[in-house]
Chain A
Amino acid sequence: MSASSDVGFHAQRQARWRYAEAAFWLVVLACGFLFPTRYLIMTDILRLALFAMSLDLILGYAGIVSLGHAAFFGVGAYAAGLLALHGIINEPVLALIAAGLAAMVLGFATSFLVIRGVDLTRLMVTLGIALLLEALAERFSNITGGTDGLQGIEMQPILGAIPFDMFGKAGFFYSLAVLFVLFLLARRIVHSPFGLSLRAIKNNPLRAAAIGIPVNRRLIAIYTLAAFYGGIAGALFTQTTAIASLDVFAFDRSADLMLVLVIGGTGYLYGGLIGAVIFRMLQEVFSTITPQYWQFWIGLVLVVIVLVGRQRLHRWVLYVPNLIIRQVGGRKAVVAVPESDA
């Protein structure tokens, strides 16, 4: 039946790859070859991007706010550090997954606290959990190294073949591969019925339940998954820097993440990635100009973004690329559209 295939076609509209997406990833990959002296900062951006994508999964899709996302980052970071330090799992990829799973367990356990209540309670609960973990890490210094952090971590070669080098090249491509794989997984998930049901819950939890969606179970599932992503981001941090200290749990880390998503936007997966790039660049630029007051300028940029409206900014930024895409691909080419316009 034609209406039926029509429905199928349009239902998959959002899940279809756009030219701009492919271009985005090619540019990211190209950066790895174009700027061989900037691996450290670029790796840092990739980690932040992955971490922001984790928050986007719960904030942008399910509408769960969090001020304590660093809890998962921290658990992942310490897990990866301890696994490497004590030689429990030497191979980085396996250790990465194990660290992600550790954060996932924490995410699952705390999800029951988070799904109850409204935004304000969620902010407080998530913040509290992160502070709690930070204090615990400080208290059990015999395991975590306390304020000194874990020291003397030596990373083994990735997959037993690719050693981490001092320029951070291996670390960069390793992080990029991890980010890309997890991005593909997230992309798959948000375009599934499960992902759609999360957006329904965010839009209207009352109605979501009234069409048979088990609201709490879905929220627990996505929160647990986001924790896994956060843990992986933390583990990447430890693996690529060979240190894990108390600041992995720091409040700043959770708060920065919110800023990243304010800059990049939520609910279309690229928000965290683009936001991470812009946020770190701004930080770099402003701290070069004025080492002491860079936060002032970051603050100013955020105020402007909120006043002008991110969607309008996106439209301006995407105007030229889309013009080119239309020239190349014809009038009906799939162009990049700003969030919520999609």
Chain B
Amino acid sequence: MTIALETQNLEKQFGGLRVTRDLSLKIEQGARHALIGPNGAGKTTVINQLTGVLKPNSGRILLEGHDITDLPVHKRVLRGLSRTFQINQLYPDLTPLETVGLAVSERLGHGGDWWRRMGTRSDVNGEIADLLTRFHLLDVMNDQTGTLPYGKQRLLEIAVAIAAKPRVLLLDEPAAGVPESERHDILAVVGALPRDVTVLLIEHDMDLVFSFADRISVLVSGALLTEGPPDQVARDPQVKAVYLGEEAVNV
């Protein structure tokens, strides 16, 4: 079994606070892996270390066997590690067309192009059109992102991450804050991600986690509590105690 993304004894401290404790994760190629945990468990801190926003105090991060611990954010993206943000991180003044176009241009190595005009490369245009269609954004592609409804912005958030053609995709609460009526689109898009893309999902919504993931890691106080297939995690008394409370989990 090939490992797509791996952390080895990851350790992160803010002052005296240990927010990631000796965390070793292995995410298999093509997996639908979920990372769950109560509020304050340090899930986002883990994501930030995986993507390079934060530097771990010790430990290593491997992407497809290569050590990426010291790579800056943008180089990890070019190596195939892409993410979405829990709270939309988009460009309010740019249009979806420009936003997706930028991501595609950067991946194809045209991002530093200062002479050729945007929109004059047919390979880039084709990919943009493809992505905008897939993510139901074609009809709003010329609107300013800041004026779009939240659900559309959410779709754009995922489209931008996909535009980087990731081999490993980190989804940080993809459906967070989306009204019920627009939820379906998001879930459909997430469900339709190609199988060769490895997905690590960080999520609060248990329905989504248990319908989507084939493997679950539970993070508590920055340390790995348990890991396994969904039914096993759901039955784990420890998990019930610390994370799910007394509520029964329907699988």
| A and B: interacting chains | yes
Assess the A203–B120 pair: CB atoms within 8 A: no
Q: Say whether B164 contacts A192, CB under 8 Å.
A: no
A residues 1-34 near B (Cβ < 8 Å) are 1, 3-13, 15
Interface of A is mostly: helix
Within 8 A of B (CB), among A310-342: 340
> Of A5, A7, A194, A212, which is within 8 A of B132 by CB?
A7
| Structural contact, B119 and A9, CB atoms closer than 8 A | yes
Given A11-B128, A215-B74, are A199 and B93 also a contact pair (CB < 8 Å)?
yes
Which of B85, B89, B117, B161 makes the CB contact (< 8 A) with A191?
B117
> Closest approach, in angstroms, between the C-beta of B118 and any C-beta of chain A?
5
Q: Verify if A166 is at the interface (C-beta below 8 Å from B).
A: no
Contacts of A9 in B (CB 8 A): 119
| B116 / chain A contacts, CB cutoff of 8 Å | 192-193
Complex contacts, A195 vs chain B, CB 8 Å = 114, 118
The answer to whether A191 and B118 touch across the interface, beta carbons within 8 angstroms, is yes
Q: A210–B114 Cα gap in the complex (Å)? A: 21
How far, in Å, is A269 (CB) from chain B's closest CB? 15
Is there contact, CB below 8 Å, between B90 and A204?
yes
> Which stretch from B99-107, B193-201, B219-227 is at the chain A interface?
B99-107
Determine if A189 is an interface residue (Cβ-Cβ < 8 Å). yes
Instruction: Determine whether the beta carbon of B102 is less than 8 Å from that of A8.
Output: no
A192-B115, A196-B102 known; A7 vs B97 contact (CB < 8 Å)? yes
Q: At the interface, yes or no: B142 with Cβ under 8 Å from chain A? A: yes
Determine whether A224 belongs to the interface, using a CB cutoff of 8 Å to chain B. Answer: no
User: Could you tell me if A5 and B93 are in contact, using CB atoms closer than 8 angstroms?
Assistant: no
Contact between A212 and B164 (Cβ–Cβ < 8 Å)?
yes
Of residues 121 to 180 in B, which have CB atoms within 8 Å of A's CB atoms?
122, 125-126, 128-130, 132-133, 138, 141-142, 160-161, 163-164
Q: Is A135 an interface residue (CB 8 A)?
A: no
**Sample of 9 more A-B contacts, CB < 8 Å, known A210-B77, A213-B106:** A3-B133, A7-B125, A7-B128, A10-B141, A196-B101, A203-B90, A203-B93, A211-B103, A211-B163
24 A–B contacts from the bound complex (CB under 8 Å):
A3-B129, A7-B101, A7-B119, A10-B142, A11-B98, A12-B117, A188-B114, A191-B117, A191-B118, A193-B105, A193-B112, A193-B118, A203-B91, A204-B90, A206-B89, A209-B73, A210-B51, A210-B77, A210-B83, A211-B163, A212-B103, A213-B102, A213-B111, A218-B112
Interface residues, chain B, CB within 8 Å of chain A? 51, 53, 72-74, 77-78, 82-83, 85, 89-94, 97-99, 101-103, 105-107, 110-120, 122, 125-126, 128-130, 132-133, 138, 141-142, 160-161, 163-164
